[in-house]
Every structure is written in structure tokens, then in C-alpha cells.
Structure 1
Amino acid sequence: MKLTTHLVSAPLHTPFITALRTATSADSLLVELTDGELSGWGEAPQVWKVTGESLAGAQACVEGPIAAALDGLEPDDFTEALRRIQAAVQGNFGAKAAVDVALHDLVARRRGQTLHGFLGSTVSSVSTDVTLSVGDPESLAASAVDRVADGFGVLKVKVGTGDASADFHRVRRVREAIGPEPRLRLDANQGWSRRDAVNAIRALEDAGCDIELVEQPVVAADLEGMAWITDRVSTPILADESVYGVRDLVAVIRHGAADLVNVKLAKCGGLATARTLLELAREHGLGAIVGSMMESHVGIGAAAALVAAYPTTAVNDLDAAWWLRESPVVGGVRYAGSVIHLPTAAGLGVTGLTL
């Protein structure tokens, strides 16, 4: 098997603004794993503010220790290859995820199966929410109305901008603008204090804003704080940055820190670990969604295939590639409003690069 890396920068049709950053493009390392005439694809997005990983670091990791670990193996050595990918280096979860997904894609192609079929699913589509960029109350409300018109029934509002009272007014204005039916979920990106989180969530509950869940209200390491919040509000709490791998999820479970977990391939290291996390959450009564970084149709295709085979308890957060002006690859998943249609071609259905 041969590993090749491709640096891509895909422009967004609209700037994506959060409390952490403003993005105008999705910058990723695409990994191509080739065996004969067949290639499998994977993706490592650049996520400085979350995982701390860069494209240069991911490229060095893939072309260096991971490539060396896979040297001499064949696609049929699937389980051993997955083990070696994870053992090749510490951290570098995006790089590991890219090669893990590329290997899954390649093996599925060799068997003439779609990736979701290889994972055990006959589902042909999955649903996603859509994130609203950070803005003032009126611009947020206008964006929310537009996204509902685009066919999205679940909207995610970024909060945690440093002023919990302002966050409350923004969210309440969005609910007023869209009416009672679309679901609203919030993502604080670790931006609240414990008390601000409880005060803001209770205020939204008292105002009848009907919030589906609140994602990562406090800093990732503060599991005691997140448990303190979970115990004091009725709205479900979703752990995101607090959970990378299995040990992290075990700690969340032991602390009673959250009601749900957000599983992301670039955060946990690929499909193999993601499947374990989803199974572990289910066994311990936690809800789950599958999320994404700012990724292209490659990363989103892998995440959507995972969701098809491992149904989650809430609508997933897979809108990242919807923001792209055009896909950097030929083939793969496609969006129709909130619905992501999975490919009928083998593997991820990706046949090459467009950018």
C-alpha cells in the first residue's frame, strides 16, 4: 500500500464565524491510500483552536511514522493495520483518522461495497443540523430564517462569546424569528463559567426557548464543573472537547458530567475508535451525535457512513461540507437541504481531486 498526501483549501460560500475563529476556507490534508489501481481516501482538517493540529504536522505524521508502520502490510491485514495506525505516534488524531478512513475506504472498494455497507448499513441518507455563524441578534435571526428556508430543521447557535446575558438575548431572538418548530441547540465552545452556564441555561428554560441541548459549556478539563451544571439544569448537556478517546469518555461517565457525547473522527483518530465510543456511550445510557470539524466531502462522507451504520440519539452535526463553494473531490456525498445522500459507488464514492 502506498500513502500519498494532498493539501487542499476549499473556499466557503459564506464566512463561518465562531467565538474561536473566522473561517473563509476549509483547509485540509487529504490522504490517498493506493493498492494497485484502487485508492481509498481520508481527511485530516486543520483545527488549531481545538486539536492543535496543523496541516504540516499531519502531513509529516502521515508520511513519516504512520507510513513506516504500514510498510509491508496489505489491505487484507486490516485489523493489524488499524492497530498500527493508532500505535504509530502519540496524539495526531486528525492524521490517524485520515489514514484509518482511507484504509476503510480502500477495503470497502476492494469488496465492491459502499463504505456504509461495509460498516453494516443499508441506509442511503442521514440528516444534519446547520450552524449559525456568530452575530448580533438581528443578523442571527435573519440567518436562522434563511437556514430554515434552506430545509434545515435543527439549528445550532454558537454562544460562549464572553457575555452570557448577550448570548441569552441572541438565542431568544432566534427562537422568536423561527417559531416553535425548528429545534435549537447551543454550542458554548468552552466559553462559559459554571455559574454563567447555569444562569444562561435556566433563563432560556424560563423564557420557553425550548433548547434541545447545550454543547461543552465549560473548559474541557472541568468535568466536575460540567457535572455541576448537568445536575442543575433540565436541558441536556453534550460533551465535545472533553472527549477525544475512550479514556475521556470513561471519565465523563464516571463524573456524570454530560447527558450526551459528540464523537468526531478527527478528534478520536478514526472510524475504529469512533465505533467503540458510540458503543460505550450506548451501553452506559448516554446519548450521542457524530460531529465534524470544518471538513470536506471526504471527512463528512466517512462520518455520514458511520452514522448510517451506528444510529445516534439526535440529529448529527455534519454540515461542514455544506459550507463549501465546491467540493475538492469528484464524487462522494451530496447535500439536499438537511439530508446528506450517501454514494452508491464503492467506498466513499470519491474518484479524484477537483481542486
Structure 2
Amino acid sequence: MIHRVRLHTAIVPMAAAFDHATRSRRSAESLLAEVELAGARGWGEGAPRGYVTGETLDGAARAVQACDPAALAERIDWRTFDSAIASIAQLPLPELVGGPSAQAAVEIALLDAVCRCFARPLADVLRVLDPPARVRREGPTSVSLVIHLSRDVASTLDALTPQAVAALRHVKIKVADPAGAVKRLAQARDRLPADTRISLDVNGTWSAAEAEQIAGELTGVAWVEEPLPPRSWSELARLRRATGLPVMLDESCTGTADLDTAAASGAASHINVRLSKCGGFLAAARLALRADALGLGCQLGVHVAEVGPLWAAGRALATAWGLWQTVEAGRADEWFPAPLTRPAFAVDRLLHRVRPLAGPGTGIDPTEELLRHARCLATWEPDGGWRRNA
């Protein structure tokens, strides 16, 4: 039974901005769901991004408050860990909650709470999907280095130690205009080992003509992420046929409908899987499995400035499965000088690796620093429904 749900919005200033072709982010904006069961409390997070899913922070908060946690609870078999997880996996969250980030906040909170009740790590939840044996893998995983637009590629790579450069498996470079993209790509190639893969992230700002014209100068890139405006299916398919350019979809692929359209039309070779835009931990995992079955490669990405439960849940997925072409970890240790979680966000920047988090559930709890920037909007209890907080 669900004893209480609290809904928070967290707006946390960032110590350093993150820029790409269409946005400059200087603060985190996350929706936090806090679910209390008998003897356990779980935390979930959604990252509403209007340019990705059309959601706003206020809209996602309203979507959660429109759902009835009692109705959710009635659909869950609480007797065992396996029965509870199987029930949650069957919840029609798009019908019960609303937009993807709202779904992610609720789903991750529920999973975290159940895992803590039964002293199980979040990675154990993935067994409900029965992934192929070749997908399953546990342990540390390599993460990509992401160089955003306000960072010079040459100086960023030159600042790394030789050991850190040698350990890089993948570098993702944010780009804007085509000419600038060619220059930034050349700077990376001049400084990286031949076996380090490089991708470019356009964030949907090129025209089809620009992309086709520049494709010949991008030979050897692992992929170009979202080169055209989102869901330009026919133009993307034509670009790939004409140039052979590998294309990753991000804003264009938020669920199975997008994925099936992309695969059927030949519009993509890869997809970027991010938990919040896909509707949560299990939804993202399902999308990755389907993409893999369709022959598309998967990147496990992050939304900029995830404050805790999202990056922790993503890390569980990253370190439990081995189907990822590359994994993004974010840079919360640079964006937020005071730790927002306990244990604090950490990445081995010398080897570009992350390890699984220990403990039940996501393995993290919010710190006072995060809660200081969070506002509790509403509380739900079985005998009174949702109550707005003053």
C-alpha cells in the first residue's frame, strides 16, 4: 500500500552553463516524486524539457497530481519483490499519469521504494524484461566525454593527461553551423587515438541540403545525432541513402512509435535512450531492447543537470547491460559544487568509467543541499487525496 506521496519541484543553479545549438542551460529544473511505503521511501525524478517532449515543469507537476496513487496501489501485488515489480511493469503509466517526465518521476519512485522494502538493487528490476543473455552484463562501464558549444574542442582535449586521452572510448561534440562542425571534428581527430569514436550532436539545426552537402567531410564519424529538425522522416531516410551517414535520433525518438517509424523508413542507424524522455527506467530499457532487436545501435544518454534519481537510475541501467554503443554520465560534480545526493555523484575522469552504485534501490538519497532548492508542491494521503501545500 502507498502511505504517502509528496511532489517537489527542484530548481538548482548550476556553477557552469551547458550550451548546445538551441539552448543554454544554467539551472537544473527537475520534478521529484517521493513515495512512502510501509518502512521504505523511494525517490523518483523527471526532467521536463519542452524542446524534447513538449513538457514544462508545471505541466509535469499537474500531470502527477491528476493521477490517483490509490488506483496505482490497487494494481500492484505487494506480496513479494517479483510480484510487485511485475505489477509495476504492467502499469499503463501513459494513461494513468501523463507525459514522459511525469511518468519517469512516479515510476522511478515506486521502483526505488519497492527495492528498498525488499533490500534489492534497482538493477534486479530488469529481470522482469527477460533480456537476452548477450545483453546482460554487470560491472563498471566506460562513459563518453561530451564537449558542449561553449567549450573549445582543442583546449578541452589538450587539458587532459595522456593517460586520460588514451582511455577515451567515445567523444561527443556539440556543434552548430556546418562549417564550425567540420572545424571542431578536425580538432578532435588531431588529438585523439585512432580507435576513439567521435560523434557530432547537431540538435536538429541543419537543413537537409546542409547535411547532404557536408556529409562528405564527416567520413569516419560514429554518427551524427539529430542532424535535421525532429521527425523529418523522409528527409532523414533520403540523407542516409544518398550519403551513407550514420544518424542517431534523440528528440525524434521518445517511444516505440517513433522507433518503429524510424526503423521502417530507414531514417536512423542509432537512437539516444534517455530515461526521462522515454517515460522511466523500464520504458527506456524496453525501448533499448526493441531498438537492438531492430538492428539499431543505442546510446544511453542523460538530460543535462539531472539532480539525482535520474542519473542514479541511468547508472543502474548502464552498468547492468552491455548493449550500449556508449554511455553518458553527465557532469553533476562540476555543475553542482555541493553534492545533491548521498553518496555524491562521481565519475572516474582519468579512466572515463563509472561503477554500479551500492545499496538498495537507486543507491542514493537527496542531501539537504538538494532539498534546500526543492519546493514541496503537494502531498497525497489515502484518506484525503491530493492536498496543495501553501
3-state SS of the aligned residue for 1:220?
coil
1:329 and 2:344 are equivalent in the alignment: no
Give 1:27's aligned residue.
29
Q: Distance in 1 between matches of 2:359 and 2:324?
A: 28
Give 2:93's aligned residue.
85
Give 1:219's aligned residue.
229
3-state SS of the aligned residue for 2:347?
strand
1:238 and 2:238 are equivalent in the alignment: no
| Counterpart selection for 1:125 from 119, 123, 140 | 140
3-state SS of the aligned residue for 2:16?
strand
* Larger Rg, first or second structure (1 or 2): 2
Residue identity in the other structure for 2:47: P
Residue identity in the other structure for 2:96: A
1:116 and 2:126 are equivalent in the alignment: no
1:203 and 2:217 are equivalent in the alignment: yes
How far 1:269 moved relative to its partner? Answer: 0.6
How far 1:253 moved relative to its partner? Answer: 1.0
Normalised by the length of structure 2, the TM-score is 0.81
Give 1:104's aligned residue.
111
Structure 1 residues 281 and 148: alpha-carbon distance in aligned structure 2, compared to 1, 3 A threshold: farther
How far 1:175 moved relative to its partner? Answer: 2.4
Structure 1 residues 107 and 130: alpha-carbon distance in aligned structure 2, compared to 1, 3 A threshold: same
Instruction: Report if aligned partners of 1:115, 1:348 keep a CA contact under 8 Å in 2.
Output: yes
Structure 1 residues 56 and 327: alpha-carbon distance in aligned structure 2, compared to 1, 3 A threshold: farther
Identity of aligned residues (%): 26
Give 1:257's aligned residue.
267
Structure 1 residues 344 and 52: alpha-carbon distance in aligned structure 2, compared to 1, 3 A threshold: same
Q: How does 1:129-208 map to 2 (within 5 A)?
A: 129-135=144-150, 139-146=152-159, 152-159=168-175, 161=176, 163-178=177-192, 180-205=194-219
3-state SS of the aligned residue for 1:314?
strand
How far 1:148 moved relative to its partner? Answer: 6.8
Instruction: Report if aligned partners of 1:333, 1:341 keep a CA contact under 8 Å in 2.
Output: no
Q: Distance in 1 between matches of 2:61 and 2:40?
A: 21
- Unpaired runs of 5+ residues, structure 1, are none
Give 2:372's aligned residue.
none
Residue identity in the other structure for 1:126: T
How far 1:18 moved relative to its partner? Answer: 0.8
Instruction: Report if aligned partners of 2:142, 2:354 keep a CA contact under 8 Å in 1.
Output: yes
| Counterpart selection for 1:350 from 364, 368, 372 | 364
How far 1:178 moved relative to its partner? Answer: 3.9
Q: Distance in 1 between matches of 2:341 and 2:221?
A: 36
How far 1:158 moved relative to its partner? Answer: 1.1
Residue identity in the other structure for 1:57: G
| Partner deviation per Cα, 1:231-250 (whole Å, 9 max, x = no partner) | 23344211111111111111
Give 2:330's aligned residue.
319
Structure 1 residues 332 and 298: alpha-carbon distance in aligned structure 2, compared to 1, 3 A threshold: farther
Structure 1 residues 334 and 285: alpha-carbon distance in aligned structure 2, compared to 1, 3 A threshold: same
Instruction: Report if aligned partners of 1:332, 1:349 keep a CA contact under 8 Å in 2.
Output: no
Q: Distance in 1 between matches of 2:5 and 2:249?
A: 33
Q: Kindly tell me the number of residue pairs found equivalent between the two proteins.
A: 346
How far 1:24 moved relative to its partner? Answer: 2.0
Instruction: Report if aligned partners of 2:230, 2:251 keep a CA contact under 8 Å in 1.
Output: yes
Residue identity in the other structure for 2:317: L
Residue identity in the other structure for 2:104: A
How far 1:321 moved relative to its partner? Answer: 3.1
| Counterpart selection for 2:310 from 294, 299, 303 | 299
Instruction: Report if aligned partners of 1:43, 1:98 keep a CA contact under 8 Å in 2.
Output: yes
Normalised by the length of structure 1, the TM-score is 0.88
3-state SS of the aligned residue for 2:49?
coil
Alignment RMSD = 2.4
How far 1:69 moved relative to its partner? Answer: 4.0
Instruction: Report if aligned partners of 2:333, 2:339 keep a CA contact under 8 Å in 1.
Output: no
Instruction: Report if aligned partners of 1:42, 1:99 keep a CA contact under 8 Å in 2.
Output: yes
3-state SS of the aligned residue for 1:334?
coil
3-state SS of the aligned residue for 2:303?
coil
| Partner deviation per Cα, 1:281-311 (whole Å, 9 max, x = no partner) | 1211111121111212321111121233332
| Structure 1, 290-299 or 124-133: larger mean CA deviation | 124-133
| Structure 1, 141-150 or 255-264: larger mean CA deviation | 141-150
Q: Distance in 1 between matches of 2:179 and 2:254?
A: 30
Give 2:374's aligned residue.
none
Structure 1 residues 72 and 283: alpha-carbon distance in aligned structure 2, compared to 1, 3 A threshold: closer
